[in-house]
Chains A and B, each alone.
Chain A
Amino acid sequence: MEILEVLDPVAQQRGVLDARAVNKRPSTLEGKKVGLLWSGTANGDVALRSIEGMLKQHTPSVETNFYLGGLPAPTAVLEKATDESDVVIGATAD
C-alpha cells in the first residue's frame, strides 16, 4: 500500500475571516422608505417597478425611491440609496 501525502491548495477567504452579520430588519414595512436599486440591466427595472406596485398595493404607507446604479453601482448612488432608505431591494437581472 502506498500513501501519497499532499498539501491542501485552497486558501481561506478574507470575507470568512472578517465576516459581518446583516443588519437588523424592521418588523414591518409600514411607513418605511424602500429604495429600489436597479443595476441597469434589461428587465431589472421591470422587476423592481413590479415590486414597487405590489408594495404600494399591500402597504400604502410605504414610500419608494428608484435608483439607477450600474455594474457595479457607483459609490455615490449607494450612499444616496442608503441615506434615503430604511431598506433597499436590488435586482441584477442576471
Chain B
Amino acid sequence: MVEIEKKGTPAVLLVSGRFEHDAIASARAFGMPGVRYVVVPWLYRNLDRERAVQQTEAAFETLVGELTAEVEAPVANAKLQPTQVERFEGSNYADAFQVMNREFLNRDWGDGFPLLPATQDAVEKMLKGTCLPPDHVVCDLPPGYGLATVEKIAINSVMAGASPEHMPLIIGALKAVSQMDPDRVKGFLMSTSSHASMLLVNGPIAKELDINSKGACMGPGRQNRANLVVGRAYTLCLKNIGYWYPGEMDMDTIGSVRKFSVCIAENEDASPWEPFHVEQGYKAGDSVVTVMATKGEVDVADQGNNTAEGLLKTIAYNSIFSQWDLVRPGRTAKGSAMETIVLVPPDIARPAGEAGFTKKGAKEFIHMHAQFSLGKMVHYYPLQPETIPAHWRWLLKLSEKELHDIWMPVRESADRYRLICVGADRAKPIIIPSMPVRPESVNVDQYRAR
C-alpha cells in the first residue's frame, strides 16, 4: 500500500491477525508511517469462506472511514543522530554486565545469549579491522532499511564476540544481502516461513580467518569459533540495523535455529569443481562472501553407493521435499523460481569429478532425477482459476489421480541447484531448499584494513 500511496493514490490495507505490528513496522521502514490499515482478527489464508466474509463485513465501516478521513499534517522528518551511550550500574563489573544484558535482551537487541559490552574502547579496536571510516554508510539494510554505518556494524560485531579481522566479512555479508532483489528480499526476511541466511566464504580469507569448511562446520564447537561469531555478528546487525525483529518485520510462524548463525567456507581443496565464487564471476584468488537464503535442511545418508551416478541419485531423490514453484501465481514473475542448495561432501564430489562430471553436468543429472508427482507438488497451493498462469490451465481439467500420475522435475532448470563442496569425508550431503531469491556475493578485499 505504501507503493500505491507513493504513486499518489490514497490506499488502505486490510491487515489480518497478528500482522498489525508488521503493518506499523513496514510503514515506518518504507517511509510512510501514517499509512492507513484496518485489522481483522483472523488470518484469511486458512479460514473457511463464511468466516472470511464475516470478519470482512465487520470491518467495512472502519475501512470506508479510513478511505475518506482527513489526513494529518505531513510528517516531520527525523534528523540523523550521533550514536548514544547507554549507562548500566551494578555493584561490580559482573553485575553491571548482567544489568546491561537483561535490558538489551528485553529490548530484543540480542539473540537470547549473553552479549559482550560494546564499550567505546572495544568499538574503536573493532573499527581498525576495516579501511572504511566509521560514518561510512555501507548500505540501507533490509528489511527495515536502517543505515548500516561502519560504526553500527562494529558495535554489533563487538556484541557478537567478533574480532577486528572479521569486519571485512561482516561488512561484505551485509552489503550482499542489501543487494538482493528488493522485492524478493522482503519475502526472504519478512515471511511467515522460517527463512534464514547462510553465509558462504570463498577464497584466501577463509583460511586466513580459520573459517571452517570441513568436519562439523555448521553448529557449535571450538572448530567453528570464527564461523559462529561472524554469523552471529551478521544476525545482530540484521536485527539492530535491519530491524529484523520477530513479530515486527520477521513474521516467522515457528522459527528455526538457522537464524542464530550459519557461516561456512567452501572446502575448495577437496573439490574437483570450480568454487562457488568463480561461478558467481569472481577470480579464484578473490576473497568473497555470499549470502544465501535457506528454508530448512535435510541430512542425507548414502549407505553404500560408490559410483558417481549412484551418489548423485541419492542427492536427487532426497531433493524433492519442501516447496515447489509450479503453478504459483508469481511463477511467471521475474526470478520467481525456487532453488536448492546442496552441501556436497568430498566423498561425493570427488568420485563425481573423477567420473567426468563437471559441476554443470552434476547439476543437470540431479535436475533430471529429482522428479515428483505433480499432483502432490501442487497440493499445498490449491489451484485457482484466477491465479494459474495460462500455460498451466490444462491442469484444472484433470482429476486428482491424473494429476498424481504426472511426474515432473521439482525445479525449473538445472541452474536452480547450487552445489558447494563442504564437510569431512563421508557421503552425507545436506540438502537445503532455498527460495526465489538469488545468492548475492561481494568481494571483501575492498573492506580490508590497509
Contact = CB atoms under 8 A, between A and B. Distances in A.
Interface string B62-79: 011001111111110111
A94 B85 contact: no
Given A4-B100, A37-B4, A93 B44 contact: yes
Main secondary structure of the interface of B (DSSP, over half): mixed
Interface residues of B, number: 104
Interface string A5-42: 11111111111111111111111110000010100111
Given A13-B144, A82-B8, A87-B10, A21 B75 contact: yes
Given A8-B86, A13-B145, A46 B52 contact: yes
Contacts of A73: 3
B147 A22 contact: no
Interface string B181-194: 00100110000100
Interface string A52-64: 0011001000000
A18 to B, nearest CB: 6
Contacts of A79: 7
A26 to B, nearest CB: 6
B32 A43 contact: no
A44 B44 contact: yes
Nearest to B85: A5
B330 to A, nearest CB: 5
B215 interface: no
A92 B12 CA distance: 11
Contacts of A42: 44-46, 382, 384
A18 B44 contact: no
A19 B145 CA distance: 12
Contacts of A17: 77-80, 147
Given A2-B91, A9-B109, A24-B71, A51 B56 contact: yes
A2 B16 CA distance: 47
Contact of A45 (B8, B83, B386): B386
A7 B87 CA distance: 9
A5 B120 contact: yes
Nearest to B76: A19
A40 B205 CA distance: 44
A51 B144 contact: no
A46 B49 contact: yes
Contacts of A1: 89-91
Contacts of B89: 1-4
Contact of A24 (B10, B84, B85, B140): B10
A5 B86 CA distance: 6
A19 B67 contact: no
Contact of B36 (A22, A68, A70): A22
Given A24-B10, A24-B71, A90-B1, A10 B109 contact: yes
Contacts of B329: 40, 68, 70
Given A22-B10, A91-B13, 6 more contacts: A4-B89, A7-B86, A14-B147, A19-B33, A22-B36, A93-B43
Interface of B: 1, 3-17, 19, 28-36, 40, 43-47, 49, 52-53, 56-57, 60, 63-64, 67-75, 77-81, 83-93, 95-97, 99-100, 109, 117-120, 123, 140-141, 144-149, 151-152, 155-156, 159, 183, 186-187, 192, 236, 240-241, 243, 329-330, 333, 382, 384, 386-387
Interface of A: 1-29, 35, 37, 40-48, 50-51, 54-55, 58, 68, 70-74, 78-79, 81-82, 85-94
9 contacts: A2-B93, A3-B88, A3-B89, A11-B147, A12-B80, A22-B36, A23-B8, A46-B44, A94-B192
